[in-house]
Structure formats: structure tokens, C-alpha cells
Amino acid sequence: MDDTTPPTDGPHLVRRKTVLRAALAATAAVPAALLGGPALARTLASGDTVPPLTPACDDGDDPTPPQMEGPYFKPGSPRRASLLDAGTTGTRLTVSGYVFGLACRPIGAVLLDFWQADANGAYDNTGYRLRGHQFTGADGSFTLTTIVPGLYPGRTRHIHVKVQAPNRPVLTTQLYFPNEPRNNTDTIFDPRLLMTVRDAGGGAKEAAFDFVLNVPQDPGGPDPTPTATGGTWAQGTTYRVGDRVTYAGRAYSCLQAHTAQPGWEPPAAPALWRAL
């Protein structure tokens, strides 16, 4: 699945019928986009052609491959689905998709933490410009509003992301753009991480990508849910994903395993804690 053709040893592509079959087996609601609904980024082909979803998602197939974090990740990003701030310049980009487990069933409440370069190829390492995290809906869907990242020496265009299902390890990876000349020279570029991209009118672009996490699933069973633990947030305590605490009279669920430190109180660390 490089810019034009699938690699000979690449993963199996799932067609809509595969996901529909898994959804029906699970008696789950089928995402509207998979039925040719309003998610235009997902229906890129014309006529009767059924577009493949990327990356692979089929019972027992490989999950989305990881990639290096790079030097510019910052914890504690704000919770937001749009990374656009006042004064943000560049080509507007909307990325939509779903997060699936190994049985092609969508997973809700998945944390996705995005960060990227601006239109000039620079990262904001003092603040949180073009950084933010969000959670998938109950149907496993997400939508990110941002800009097409610029180029900087040695790399092709890419968007960084950390993806974590409840009670599961973090997947750190990167998303790429098709038909980029530097895809051929970037030493860590992986064609399995190509988004599907199209023009959306008015100079904007739309992209689609589905993550497949290494989360075992019974097609008829429930999605993973956090384990509930009680207690009041306390500095120095080691918290696991799914642990629940109270702070200032409000309940929170832990999103990433960590040891509590000053400044990481739940209201101040939305990348670590989700209010219940």
C-alpha cells in the first residue's frame, strides 16, 4: 500500500462487508460512514467501486504498526478535536476514522493524542499549538481538524499520534500522506500508515484512517472497559489505566499509567485523567 499499489507482503485489506459482518455478529450498530453515509473522506471512489479501509482490519490480522515517538512529544496536551487556533495558517485538513480491535469491532473511549509541525515544518515546544487529545465515541469514531503539516529536513509530511484503549498499552505511531516525493527518501516512512486523502473544496483536504489496536475481541463480547478502583488522588501513588479516583469531590478515570506528581492533579492533566 505505497502511493500507488499495495506492497506484495502487505496486510489484507478489509472491505466494508468484513466490518459489517463483524458488527452484525456482535449485534452492534454499524458506523454510518461504512454504509456510505456522510463521512465523505471515507467514500473516495466513484461509481460502484468499494474503497478499502486502511490499514488492515480482519479477524486475527496484524494491528497498526508502531513508529518512533520522535523528539517533540509533550504530555498534558489540551483536550480538543480541533488543533486550529487563532492565527493558524496552512491547508485545512480533516482526518476522520475509527479505532478497531482485532475482531474488527470498534472500541469506544480510546485516547488519541495528536501532535504535528506547522505549515513551515516547525513544532511548538513551548506551548501546545497543533497539539491536542480526544476520545473515540461509543462507535469507535474520531475526527481531527488541523492543517497539512509542513516539511523539515530529513522527513516527509506526517502527523504523530498516541492511541490507547482502556486498560491497554499505548500505540505510538505516525500517519503519512500519499504521493509525497519524500516518502521515497524518508528512512522511517511506512506505507501501511498512509492515509487516504482527497480534495474537499475551497483548498481544504479530507483524510481517512482506521487504527487497529492489539486488543483481543470476542465478536459477540463486550468492548474493553476500565477496571474500577476507589480512592482519593494522592501524590506519589502509581496509577494504572482504568483506575478511578476522586479529586475535589469529582470522579476521574486514569487514561495513562503513571506515578502522580504535583501538577498532575486530574483537572490539570486531561491527558492522564478523564472526568466521569
pLDDT attached to residue 202: 93
> Which phi-psi region, left, alpha or beta, contains residue 102 (left: φ > 0; alpha: ψ -120 to 50)?
alpha
pLDDT in tens, 23-33: 433 333 333 33
Question: What domains appear along the chain, each with residue ranges and CATH number?
Answer: 16-212 (2.60.130.10), 238-275 (2.10.10.20)
Instruction: State pTM to two decimals.
Output: 0.66
Per-residue burial over 203-215, b if 16 or more Cβ lie within 10 Å, else e, is: eebbbbbbbbbeb
pLDDT in tens, 42-81: 333 333 343 344 445 555 557 899 999 999 999 999 999 9
